[in-house]
Chains A and B, each alone.
Chain A
């Protein structure tokens, strides 16, 4: 299949489910080096623009009675602040700007990726793995700085029978190190899968205008595909937000483990 990745043809339909994730130089066709401006760079920059527009310009009037834009900014602030406070604890509030940064970037990257023809930065493992590793390293460092060696108590389940504890410790350690994997794959996997499925439906939607397919078949397949695209798009809008939320809330959960390992 890979040999035909750029236009796999089956019965006249062209499938390009993965082409939308292709990284390209934004200016010209040169090779992609370390600092080349790519389509990913452009869409990340747009995410910055959106964050600034929402959080900085939205709140620029500092009104006591907020305008609509300011209400949105305050709502986002209150939503994440309350989540950090509730899930990670009151002493985690100093990490609030950090979690807010992650949440705002992911939510805007996800939503910008839903614009047709756009590039979804969060669909790349390179991006989500870095995001998840940042959380993992932060949590581990904070855990050891705050609690010292007693942070290792996180793996030593003192409520279990003594004989089971070594076994549980192994499982806990494995699950601890799997965290960044699931954390990153969850986000990229959800976003990528949704977009790829939409693309597959989009390829089927052309059935009516492809010569090799009988018009009778096309007349059924095309409307169904368009319906499918619409439904999936709605689902993706939901997923775009929920995955950002889940990423942020899991960060809070891990942070709570680091701050209060014994709980």
Chain B
């Protein structure tokens, strides 16, 4: 039976695929091992052993072994699945055989190439249940390296890998072991610890899969720590808040979190099941003190609190199951950090939350893995689930805001009472000196010190107030700058699209001019290039207005500002037969940037004037406001041609225009939106006030009475 080297196997893909998948995608060894362990899960393994032998130094006897008790593979499995790229997408069954019923998680095509990351020589030993023999496949990546260096065309698939059978010592056993020798890089104890921590994320700490999926880590060099140490998630410690929500299957009620503004406490309330089905959720929030404690305990660790993960039937869902060293490269699929600047000072981020969301195949069938298995299918249910999770996090944002205010109040109170206390103290000293004239000189000395303290405290209070003002100013500037991030991306995209058009047309001239056959095109393209340049020019103007704009905030009399603006348009309004109405309540001061407000309303008015052109008579532009406790809502309406439902979603997109003939560059409403957002406001199109046609924009700004 033992006939090594006689039989050969070939890969079925080319060099570029290998490079792309193996080298480019799997950039680190942790992901590589992680993928291999996920493959064990797919093979219905209950136990996986990850072993490190002599990997702490460059050692010819170094080895990494990943061993499982899963289904094992036959020769044809190896030939038709293992050595073919992308078999996962062609996998018919999405769920592994009973009693496991596991949803496949390994990204087939990756694990195998992952091996290359780890070491040059591979021995795969595998066996199905009740097979008498082990199948041994040898792969030597060094040969592929040599092949890549050759100058003549060589196909990767030409390399032959040998296989042979050996008699199994335990015929009843089953499973696969991948033995990687000539380990490429040194693994220190810290590296193994890092891997261990990543592996703890595979299985849900609260509702692990049944039958179980246990992972053990062994290292012969660090056997004191890793002597087949079972992978178990750390207990979350140091969190300041710990909340869990569940559901009641009988009453079909889903719990959710609610921050009670009266009691300043988090409560649990219930609601009907949401579209995505019932879920369980465990949330840990780390407030400022807790975060400091956590970070000091896990000083060297790279986990630094970790955001929200979704587990399905006890196993981590694929989008999250990958190691990423750099935080900025982590995929934030739930979008927790993405729009962070929208509430940058109070929203909670993935650095303050550890969350575990439990979904199941049975309860949440509409949360579907996307075909590329990098995310879930973007349907209504998934979108609702994301919203629901964010809503729960927002409860902690309320806590954060409350604690921030409380902290400030406490410091203010302390400072204030210190000032009062010193005043009392000085009075007491005077009293004492009057009663005991003999010690007056000494008391005077103490008194003069006390006076100095009082001055310092007063100066401190003053300084603090100044700081607060400065802080508020910086927050505002930060806001307007942060909105630039989105803005820069949009403008760059739009400018490039525009340049592409211009370039193609110019290229056409270069290649085809003066071929009379294309006479009409030449004329048209010249006009197109001209108007496209106009658009670019407007975009650049806008960019420059941002670059040059005074981004300071000031208290502005809102009514006065709007009235002035409308007055500036008075001539045009009368020329174009437009009636304007302003109905802005009692004078209110809002803290904002004058230029931004002007930009917003100038663009809205310009927009309305274009839309009103289609009205024969009776042209109205109207601006009204409503004051709330902490916001001002402005309604801006006209009775022009209005916006179709179809258009509503797109009107704020850059370079989207329906008025090209009137010189519309598609920037106006885009500017409005970016400016509104830079002022921490929101804008939307609501039901038009004027019937039968027209448009009404609802703009909301935060506001302090």
A, B in one complex: no
Give the interface of B toward A (CB within 8 A).
Answer: none
